[in-house]
Amino acid sequence: MIGIEDCLSEAMTIPGALDAILVDHTSGMAVAAEGVSYPEGSAAGLSEAFRATLDGLALSTPDGTIRIEDVIVTTDRAYHLIKPMETMFDGPLLICLRLDPDRANLALALRRLQAISHRLIAS
Amino acid sequence: MATTTTLDSVLTGLAQDRATGSLRIGRAGTIFLTRGRVSYAECTGTPGVEELLTASGRISAGAVRKARQAATGESDPPSGGDRLVDAGVLTKGELEFCVLGATLDASYFLLGPALATSGARPGPKPRFKDGERHWLGTHWFFDVPGLFQECRRRKARLDRAWPSSELDTQPVIPVRRIPGRHVVLSALQWEVLLGADTTATPAELARRLGRPAYSTLLAVRELGAAGLLATGADPADQAAPPKPALPKRAERSGPRAELRPGPGSDPAQPYLPQVSADPTDVKLLIRLRDALEALQ
């Protein structure tokens, strides 16, 4: 069982990790960050990106409701992973990881992120 | 004004002294400090950790009370929060997030008045009790300037969703028919709509749903912006002084509206001319139409 700070330092041990940030999706607040130069801006941007993904996919899904497990975006410079974690009263809490594509293994990173989120929040 | 001790000056002072204890703000609530940093806050208007835990169904109200009594009975650790974690009620991460969320939620409403007005309405005098701790213990910290900063950011976030505080204290009344063919709702917006009984205000709904008051307020404003709630007036009208029902021609002779915003005007205002039912305007339009038709 780990706390918020440990969860980020563990995420940073994932091979290829460049930076990691934990974002409260409802308010768009940076809860904690490691290696992020401007956490407030990153948090706002990432929570907007997640919201847009949710809304956009909900509209394009036949039954109109979706549950995102991971958002994976590959850019020319990095892999971006966003994983929502349901919390018991508010949320979700987003754990966001940026990876170096030359060093990272996407499948491994996803599995590790999944394990970390289970140890942080038991649900 | 300089002599009144405002809440932010008191908190800043306590932070500089690296104080540990509780700061009671009248009946509104209490802020707990640990070595100059805010470790917990509770507000009568927002659900606390106890209520969030019971509302989530993880633990009964009686079990929370027992944990609380056990924690306050002893002077030494483990704290109440650590006991709950050890008992398997919630994980360490969940406890931290619970404390963090409840603290931010309460702070928004406790510190909000201090942020909004520059000492215009001095609240109740805060009372500091040295050494008093919350029964949950210390699980997360906010530094005082950071907490004020976050409250300001949250205020701006609310205003971005819907720039009027009209819906904040009114009963939530969903419209009977939606203005479009379909809507996309977040989980909390769904709960708010389902819980809205046309008498409950956002704060009452938050308590009933076991959701943070700020998040509920944000959901309500977003629903308002999407046209899903019955509102009294357009938010743009709220900021401006109330206008007479029918503008009188004599008050503003000449052109009725500026097509371009002037240098001092609000960029948020649309620069389209205002529409009115003033008969003078209607007559002018009819004359214009006749003139255009005559040209053909």
Q: What is the mean pLDDT of chain A?
A: 91
Look at residue A84 in the predicted model and tell me its pLDDT.
93
Collapsing DSSP to helix, strand or coil, B105 comes out as: helix
Cβ contact A91:B105 at 8 Å? no
- CA angle (B177, B181, B186) in 5-degree steps: 85
Side chain identity at residue A111, one-letter code:
R
Residue of A26, A29, A121 with shortest CB distance to B94: A121
pLDDT over 90, % of chain A: 67
Q: How far apart are CA A48 and CA A57, in angstroms?
A: 14
A-chain residues within 8 Å CB-CB of B90?
88, 122
Q: Which tokens is A93 given?
A: 């809490």
Cβ pairs A/B, distance under 8 A: 79
CATH classification of A4-120 is 1.10.10.10, yes or no?
Answer: no
Residues in Cβ contact with A115 at an 8 Å cutoff, skipping those fewer than 6 apart: none
Q: Which residues of A touch B150 (CB under 8 A)?
A: 29
pLDDT at B243: 45
Q: How far is CA B223 from CA A25, A93, B157, B185, B247, in A?
A: 17, 22, 14, 9, 31
AA letter at A11: A
Strands A17-24 and A93-99: antiparallel
Q: What is the pLDDT of residue B151?
A: 92
Tell me the ipTM for this assembly.
Answer: 0.81
Long-range Cβ pairs for the range B80-87 (8 Å, 24+): B80/B135, B80/B136, B80/B137, B81/B136, B81/B137, B81/B139, B82/B137, B84/B53, B84/B59, B85/A1
Of A54, A58, A122, which is closest to B91 when you measure between CB atoms?
A122
**Can you give the pLDDT at residue B107?**
93
Residue A96 has pLDDT above 50, yes or no: yes
3-state secondary structure of B296: coil
**Percent of chain A residues topping a pLDDT of 70:** 98
Sign of CA dihedral A27, A28, A29, A31: positive
β-partners of residue B29 are B25, B43
So what's the pLDDT on residue B253?
42
Kindly determine whether residue B92 and residue A2, on different chains, have CB atoms separated by under 8 Å. Answer: yes
Q: Which residue, among B92, B143, B149, B154, would best test binding to A if mutated, counting the most A CBs under 10 Å from its CB?
A: B92
- Give the pLDDT of residue A114: 93
pLDDT greater than 80 at residue A42: yes
Does B160 contact chain A (CB < 8 Å)? no
User: Is residue A66 scored above 80 in pLDDT?
Assistant: yes
What is the pLDDT at residue B237? 46
Residue A46 has pLDDT above 50, yes or no: yes
CA distances from B295 to A81, A105, B126, B288, B290 (A): 64, 73, 75, 11, 9
In chain B, residues under CATH classification 1.10.10.10 are: 166-237
Do the chains contact at A89 and B210, CB–CB below 8 Å? yes
Contact A44, A25 (CB under 8 A): no
CB contact under 8 A, A26 and B188: yes
Taking the CA of residue B3 and the nearest CA in chain A, the distance in Å comes to 35
What radius of gyration, in Å, describes the C-alpha atoms of chain A?
14
Q: Which residue has the tokens 């357009």?
A: B234
B211 interaction partners in chain A (CB closer than 8 Å)? 89-90
CA B46 to CA B101: how far, in whole Å?
11
Indicate which of B91, B97, B222 best probes the interface with A, i.e. most A CBs within 10 Å of its own CB: B97
* B212, closest residue in chain A (CA to CA): A90
Confirm or reject contact between B96 and chain A (CB < 8 A).
yes
List chain A residues with CB under 8 Å of B100: 4, 31
Listed by start position, the domains of chain A span: 4-120
Residue A13 has pLDDT above 60, yes or no: yes
Q: Is B59 on the interface with A (CB under 8 A)?
A: no
| Locus of tokens 């209607």 | B282
Alpha-carbon gap, residue A112 to A104, rounded angstroms? 12
pLDDT, average across residues A91-114: 94
Which residue, among A29, A38, A90, would best test binding to B if mutated, counting the most B CBs under 10 Å from its CB?
A90
Output the pLDDT for position B2: 44
Interatomic CA distance for residues B112 and B106, integer angstroms = 10
Interface residues from chain A to B (CB-CB < 8 Å): 1-4, 7, 24, 26-29, 31, 40, 54-55, 58-59, 64, 87-90, 93, 119-122
The 3-state DSSP class for residue B229 equals strand
Please, how many CA atoms are within 13 Å of residue B31, restricted to the half-sphere of its CB?
33
Q: Tokens in use for B117?
A: 């007005």
Q: In this complex, is the C-beta atom of B146 within 8 Å of any C-beta atom belonging to chain A?
A: no
pLDDT (tens digit, 0 to 9) for every residue of chain B, 296 residues total?
444 568 888 999 999 999 999 999 888 899 999 999 999 999 998 888 888 888 878 788 888 888 888 777 666 667 888 888 888 888 888 888 889 989 999 999 998 877 765 544 566 788 898 888 888 888 888 989 989 989 999 999 899 998 888 888 889 999 998 888 888 888 899 999 999 998 999 999 998 888 899 999 999 999 999 999 987 654 444 444 444 454 444 444 444 444 444 444 444 444 444 555 666 667 777 888 888 877 76
- Per-residue pLDDT for A37 more than 70? yes
Alpha-carbon distance B26 to nearest alpha carbon in chain A (angstroms): 27
Within 10 Å of residue B259's Cβ, how many Cβ atoms?
8
Fold of B166-237: Arc Repressor Mutant, subunit A (1.10.10)
Sheet strand arrangement including A29-34: A29-34, A17-24, A93-99, A79-85, A71-74
